[in-house]
């Protein structure tokens, strides 16, 4: 990277890729755990952690794609595809942007 913006973009991409890989490393143990631990200590849906990890992985993928396309900020990009549209429509656009902004 030659300039400040390129350095920040490179750092952001590196952090996003590390985060993505970390979440991938949690997926198998999470699936195994939710398949074997179905006792009174389990609250709610045992697949909830796996589902949340999948949502987080999808959000990070969207951020990586946006950064690679030259749109690292959610504020600058109104055209990012929204996964799980029904869920996000009920959340409202501002809450969605804030959720993804927290990831960035």
Query: Which tens digit of pLDDT belongs to each residue from 26-85?
Result: 888 887 776 666 554 555 565 678 888 889 999 999 999 988 887 655 555 455 455 555
- Look-up of token digits 């890729």: 17
d(C-alpha 7, C-alpha 39), whole Å: 48
Residue 47, SS3?
Answer: coil
Backbone torsions φ then ψ of 71, nearest 5 degrees: -125, 70
Domain boundaries, the chain: 4-36+44-103
> Which is higher by pLDDT, 83 or 5?
5
């Amino acid at each position: 990277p030659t300039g400040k913006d390129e350095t920040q973009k490179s750092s952001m991409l590196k952090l996003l890729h590390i985060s993505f890989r970390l979440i991938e490393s949690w997926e198998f143990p999470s699936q195994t755990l939710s398949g074997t631990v179905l006792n009174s200590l389990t609250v709610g849906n045992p697949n909830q952690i796996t589902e949340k990890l999948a949502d987080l992985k999808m959000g990070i993928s969207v951020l990586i794609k946006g950064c690679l396309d030259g749109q690292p900020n959610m504020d600058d990009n109104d055209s990012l595809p929204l996964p799980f549209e029904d869920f996000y429509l009920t959340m409202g656009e501002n809450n969605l942007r804030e959720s993804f902004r927290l990831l960035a």
